[in-house]
Amino acid sequence: MEKTILVFVTFLSFMIYGCSYDSENDLIEPIVNPTDNGGIVNYSNNVKPIMTSSCISCHASPPINGAPFSLITYDQVSQRANNVLNAMSRQSGASGAMPPAGRLPQSTIDIIQQWIDDGLPEN
């Protein structure tokens, strides 16, 4: 019995230690920093990588998993930019929150907002 408790406590300790150092940087692919592009946020360098890594698994062409539209091309994304930003800004679990796997980091959402504010430049 004592050996079982020791094994359990050891296992539990490893589990707690293994999860205690997770950060968003460890879990999410880095996004191109807008300052790498002279401070201009554009679709090709900044927004498309976000769409590719976070959206097109459902918003493909044709859309899958119940997605109502594609987000593959510049035209498709720019036409729905405000709706995409609103969906990304919702808290995880809220109605219409995207992506379904969980809310993106605020820095990623800020890139989309800056792109909209800059007039949706393509390149």
The 10s digit of each residue's pLDDT in 26-70 is: 455 555 555 555 678 999 999 999 999 999 999 999 999 999 999
Residue with tokens 């019995």: 1
Mean pLDDT to the nearest integer, 69-98: 93
Question: Hey, what are 55's tokens?
Answer: 């959206």
- Other residues' Cβ atoms within 10 Å of the Cβ of residue 60: 14
Residue with tokens 């707690």: 16
pTM higher than 0.85 for the full model?
Answer: no
